[in-house]
Amino acid sequence: MGNRCAVIGVGQTRYQTRRRDVSLAGLVREAALRALEDAGLTFADIDAVVIGKAPDLFEGVMMPEAYLADALGAAGKPVMRVHTAGSVGGSTALVGASLVQGGVHGRVLVVAFEKQSESNATWALTTHLPFNASLVVGAGGYFAPHIREYMRRSGAPDHVGTLVAVKDRRNALKNPYAHLRIPGINREMVESTPMLWEPIRYLETCPSSDGACAIVLAAEDKVTGTPAWIHGTAMRSEPIMVAGRDVVSPRAGRDCAADVYRQAGVTDPRREIDVAEVYVPFSWYEPMWLENLGFAAEGEGWKLTEAGSTALDGDTPWNASGGVLSSNPIGASGLIRFAEAALQVRGMAGEHQVEGARLALGHAYGGGAQFFAMWIVGSSKP
């Protein structure tokens, strides 16, 4: 894992459908300045900048890190641009951490963003390579059959997805940065919304958001303010199609979790991890990832959700921030998970703080549930 590394600053923009008041550069700079302010630093204190976002087609700017270098104070410094599909926000944090863990830099600024209002992500995700048939419309069209298969295997009752949708939006009401803040959100409200991709209803999906998230990472001798120490980092990828691949509980996810738990010395994630920020863009992915990440035995994940274990006051809170279901600037969504995990162990999560959180998991996935990035952060040094 290399040298010790800590998150010392977090900055987020208020996620919303359209940020017409700022350019792409203005958006990322807003998050970056807030992260620097949190760390008590300025751009001059930063050695390198790592930028992440999902496909360039989402804004129509090719390799935008070139254009964004100025707004992020990166002139004269190394800039990296990460793109690993939906997991990119998490991967970007890991590439930034790697620069510190590898002893290359003392302080690194990590920024991820998406300005979905610049284009239509569902369209951008529906185009396909020449000579390949496009089988789906958007991400929901791809993941709905996987969810249906999970329901068949586990025998989970139909309303479990609704419970997740309600729980995460209730948490979002406690997060000032969340996009979807729906007063009085309840099951009836979710169940009354149209079916988009059976079994996924409108309110069981993530919104399209504009937003950016930034974190400042530091080596042990460069820590300022309140650190969240990195206890483990891992990435795993598998092909989108390979004989024997289980799309419901992908092996890459299980392997990635096993790797990050080993580094952090976690043997029983449900008991030892105080709060988890997990990439749940469609409600049913909570029970699916509860199993994939070893918080529940196979076929048992939905029971934790149904029992309220994953609620803010449950025994294993998931997505206290409201999660991807409440805010989804795609390229930033993974980094928001990683940053929210850090906020929790720094005790700085505000109204959605999980009391006494000392160890937190940040998780992101992407592609056809084939790319995974995870980290575990803690309030004490590893």
Partner 1 sequence: MRDVAVVAFAQTVHTGHDTGLAEPELLLPVIDEVKRATGLKRFGFTVSGSCDYLAGAPFSFVSALDAVGAWPPISESHVEMDGAFALYEAWVRLQHGDIDTALVYGFGKSSMSDIREIMTLQLDPYYLAPLGLDQVSYAALQAAAVNADRAALDEIVRRSRADGRANRYALDLPDPPTGKNTGEEFEVEPLRPYDVAPVTDGAAAVVLAAGDRARELAGRPAWITGIAHRAEPHYLGMRDLSRSVSAAEAGRAAGVDKGRVDVAELHTQFSHEEPILREALGLSGDVTVNPSGGPLAANPVMATGLIRVGEAARRILDGSAGRTVAHATSGPCLQQNLVAVLEGAVLETSA
Closest distance to partner 1 from the beta carbon of 237 (Å): 4
- Which CB, 70 or 315, lies closer to partner 1? 70
Phi-psi label, residue 39: left if phi above 0, alpha if psi -120 to 50, beta otherwise? alpha
Structure-block tokens of residue 98 = 């790697």
Per CB under 8 A, 111 contacts partner 1: no
Task: Report whether 284 contacts 204 (CB < 8 A).
Answer: yes
Structure-block tokens of residue 57 = 């087609």
- Which CB, 155 or 242, lies closer to partner 1? 242
Instruction: Identify the residue among 83, 179, 337, 363 touching partner 1 (CB under 8 A).
Output: 83
Per CB under 8 A, 218 contacts partner 1: no
Per CB under 8 A, 61 contacts partner 1: yes
What are the C-alpha distances in Å from 178 to residues 64, 101, 103, 271? 25, 31, 35, 27
Site for partner 1 in 8-37 (CB under 8 A): 23-25
Site for partner 1 in 349-368 (CB under 8 A): 367-368
Among residues 98, 23, 50, the alpha carbon closest in space to that of 214 is found at 50
Report the C-alpha dihedral over residues 358, 173, 197, 277, rounded to 10 degrees.
-10
Per CB under 8 A, 265 contacts partner 1: no
d(CA 254, CA 249): 8
Per CB under 8 A, 246 contacts partner 1: no
Instruction: Identify the residue among 12, 13, 16, 91 touching partner 1 (CB under 8 A).
Output: 91
CA angle 60, 62, 66 (to 5 degrees): 125
Residues in the chain: 382
Instruction: Identify the residue among 14, 33, 43, 77 touching partner 1 (CB under 8 A).
Output: 77
Per CB under 8 A, 125 contacts partner 1: yes
Per CB under 8 A, 116 contacts partner 1: no
Backbone torsions φ then ψ of 76, nearest 5 degrees: 90, 0
Per CB under 8 A, 101 contacts partner 1: yes
Per CB under 8 A, 94 contacts partner 1: yes
- Whether the bond into 176 is cis, omega within 30 of 0: no
Closest distance to partner 1 from the beta carbon of 98 (Å): 5
Closest distance to partner 1 from the beta carbon of 256 (Å): 8
Per CB under 8 A, 56 contacts partner 1: yes
Sequence-distant (6+) residues with CB within 8 A of 107 are 41, 45, 46, 47, 100, 216, 217, 218, 219, 222
Binding site for partner 1 (CB under 8 A): 1-2, 23-25, 54-57, 59-70, 74-85, 91, 94-95, 98-99, 101-104, 124-125, 127-131, 234-242, 245, 250-252, 255-256, 259, 367-368, 370-371
